[in-house]
Amino acid sequence: MTEEEIGYALAKQLKTAHSIESNYGHIYLDEELHKAVDAALRPILERRLAQLEGEF
């Protein structure tokens, strides 16, 4: 992912995610699942963005 893609994911996509898509269909996210996905992905995306920006 590029800096722009990660920034967009952090700013827009994560907080509005409503499903996870796979080859076998969608998993629709209720509030509990949404929070779990955000908690799992946000730190990884933030670390990757920092690496791309040269902070690490």
Whether the predicted pLDDT of 56 surpasses 70: no
Alpha carbons 39 and 34: distance in angstroms, whole number: 9
pLDDT band at 31 (very low <50, low <70, confident <90, very high): very high
Per-residue pLDDT reduced to its tens digit, 42-51: 999 999 999 9
What does the pLDDT look like over 5-24, one tens digit per residue?
999 999 999 999 999 999 99
